[in-house]
Structure 1
Amino acid sequence: MSLRIPPAPAAAERSIRAALQPTTAHSPHPLHRNRAALTPALPLPLHRLAPVTSPAEPPRAQLVGWRFLLERGGRAVGAAETMLTADGWAFSHFCEGPYISSSERAVRRAEALPTLYQPRLLSLPELYMLTLWLHVDPDADPGAGSPGPDDLLVPLAPAPPGIAADQAISTAALLPLLPPRLAPA
Structure 2
Amino acid sequence: MPLLVPPAPAPALRSVLTALGSPTAVHEVRTPGLAALPGPFEPELPLPVHVLDAIDAPAGAPRTRLHGWRFMIRDEGRTVAAAEAVLTADGWAFSHFSEGPYVASAELALREAESLPVRYQPRLLSIPEMYMVTLWLHENPAADAADGALGAGDLLVPLAPAPPGIAAHRAHRAAELLPALTLRLTRARLLGTPA
For normalisation by structure 1, the TM-score amounts to: 0.92
Q: Secondary structure at the match of 1:37?
A: coil
Contact 1:3–1:116 under 8 Å retained in 2: yes
Count of paired positions: 185
The gaps in structure 1 that reach 5 residues or longer are none
Aligned partner of 1:68 among 52, 71, 88: 71
Determine the C-alpha separation between the residues in 1 that align with 2:78 and 2:24. Answer: 25
Contact kept, 8 Å, 1:40 with 1:68, in 2: the verdict is yes
Letter matched to residue 11 of structure 2: A
How far apart are residue 55 of structure 1 and its match?
8.4
**1:164 Cα deviation from its structure 2 partner:** 1.0
The structural deviation recorded for 1:24 is 5.8
Query: In 2, Cα distance between the equivalents of 1:167 and 1:10?
Result: 33
1:82-93 residue pairs with structure 2 within 5 A?
82-93=85-96
- Aligned counterpart, 1:10: 10
1:93-146 Cα shifts (integer Å, max 9, x gaps):
011110111111111111111101100000011211110000011110001132
Output one character per residue of 1:16-75: Cα deviation in whole Å (capped at 9) or x when no partner: 000001426864442245564221111000000121226854211000000001111111
Gaps of 5+ in 2: none
Change (3 A) 1:27 1:161: closer
Does 2:130 align with 1:142? no
Identical-residue share of aligned pairs (%): 57
Residue 161 of structure 1 and its aligned partner are, at CA, apart by 1.1
Partner of 1:100: 103
Q: How big is each residue's C-alpha offset from its partner over 1:79-106, in whole Å with a ceiling of 9 and x where there is no partner?
A: 0001001111100001111011111111
Q: 1:33 to 1:14 in 2, by over 3 A?
A: farther
Q: Which residue of 2 aligns with 1:20?
A: 20
Aligned AA (1:51): A
TM-score by length of 2: 0.88
- 2:34 is aligned with 1:38: no
Could you tell me whether the CA contact under 8 Å between 2:52 and 2:65 is conserved in 1? Answer: yes
C-alpha RMSD over aligned residues: 1.8
